[in-house]
Structure 1
Amino acid sequence: MKVHRTPWWQFPVLIVLGVIVGALVAQIGESSGTSLIGAPWFVSVILLMLGITVLILAMQVHQYATTDPAKRAQLKPLDPTRAVTTLMLAKALGLAGAMLTGWYVGQILMVIEHIEAEYYAQAVTQCALAAIICLIDMVIGIVGEWLCQLPPTEGPENPKMKEARARRGVAPAAIKTTHQPQS
């Protein structure tokens, strides 16, 4: 399976899309008299904890992937499913962070003119904090995706790989022979 890096242009596109949707939701909420703006404090805390968790997982994958194969035998094996899941979490965190950053900035842009009112001042403060945390999450997602890259394969015939197999007690790979039909 070949996973490609998330193209750089998707992040600004999602931020702009988030600004548009966030502004529309704020405008609809303001015109209908319902409370659709702001972000509860616990949402910002959860988003920050999610970003830190993904960063820690990505750093673990990076440490395992970049460790010398001879020394890797001493480490606890890393489940490939966990590594792929960490990569997908990093990708999702980056994209969601971009969209939510735009979402909260869009809300701020729509209500900033009413900031003298206590309700709107609190909503702008909440949205600003959430936007900053979502921007941090976007950066963590981008960095986490980079951390989950695998180094170039050195191949089974590389002396480091042979030494690592010997330490683990794995026999060298059998040479495949192909039978060609005689004419």
Structure 2
Amino acid sequence: MRARRTPLAHYLVALVLGLMGGAGISELGMSTRTDLMGVPWLVSVLLFLLGLAILIMAFQVHRYAKGDRKQMDLRFAVNVLIMSKALGIACAALLGWYGSQALISMGHAGAPYYTRVMQECLVASLVCLLDVVAGAVGEWLCQLPPDDGPENPDRRKKSSRRPMADAADTADRAEIKADSSKKHS
């Protein structure tokens, strides 16, 4: 299976769906006079920390792909790639969600409730924008270098064989040499 980069269209679709959902919730909240808008500050902090953690893990995968790091569980690398993709798409949707609420609240900025909602949603939108970028960068960091085939001189230097396989080949060659010397004598 070959992983492909997330197309820009996927981010845009998530953003538009988030905009529609956020606008719908805002209109519903204003028409029913219920407290449906806004975002707790803790959510913005947790989203920021999540993006930072995924970016740090993606950098570790990048170090392994470059050869600076000797060992890595390949399941970890795949999971970091999946988390980077999910972070980018989910935060694009949340960017639309919180951004639309912030835009709608700007029309009512004179009221303290809408001022608070606008501030919360603007901060959350900024954090979501940073997370979209972190997801895309994390996805880029997780890509493997191109495989140029067995003719590549770098590939010949970095043998992917196990030491036991090399030892078995050496033993086989010694055995063949011994058999051929017995036949000639």
TM-score band by shorter chain is 0.7 to 0.9
Q: Which residue of structure 2 lines up, in the alignment, with residue 100 of structure 1?
A: 94
1:146 paired with 2:134, answer: no
Distance 2:38 2:32 in 1: 16
Deviations 1:40-72 (A, max 9, x none): 0100000000000010011110111012xxxx6
How many angstroms apart in 1 are the aligned matches of 2:167 and 2:147?
Answer: 17
**Structure 1 residue 157 displacement after superposition:** 5.7
C-alpha deviations, 1:138-174, integer Å up to 9, x for none? 0111111111111012445644444444997352997
> 1:33 maps to which residue?
33
Q: Secondary structure at the match of 2:2?
A: coil
**Aligned residue number for residue 84 of structure 1:** 78
Deviates more, 1:47-56 or 1:151-160: 151-160
Unaligned residue ranges in structure 1 (runs of 5+) = 175-183
- Kindly indicate whether the alpha-carbon contact (under 8 Å) linking 1:22 and 1:106 is maintained by their aligned counterparts in 2: yes
Name stretches of at least 5 consecutive residues in structure 2 with no aligned partner. 170-185
2:20 aligned partner: 20
Cα distance change on mapping 1:119 and 1:165 into 2, 3 Å: same
Residue 124 of structure 1 is matched in structure 2 by 118
Quote the residue 1:2 is aligned against.
2
What is the CA–CA distance in structure 2 between the aligned matches of 1:77 and 1:36, rounded to whole Å? 48
Cα distance in structure 1, aligned partners of 2:146 and 2:160? 21
**Deviations, residues 7-46 of structure 1 (Å, cap 9, x unaligned):** 1111122212211110100110111121111110100000
Larger radius of gyration, structure 1 or 2?
Answer: 2
TM (normalized to structure 2)? 0.83
Indicate the residue corresponding to 2:66 in structure 1.
66
CA shift in 2, pair 1:64/1:173, >3 Å? farther
Q: Which has a greater percent of helix?
A: 2
Aligned-partner Cα distance in 1 for 2:150–2:160 = 12
**Alignment counterpart, residue 105 of structure 2, candidates 95, 105, 111:** 111
Indicate conservation of the 8 Å contact 1:162/1:172, yes or no: no
What secondary structure does 2:147 align onto? coil
Which structure has the higher relative contact order (CA within 8 Å, separation 6+)?
Answer: 1
3-state SS in 2 of match to 1:122:
helix
- Normalised TM-score (structure 1): 0.83
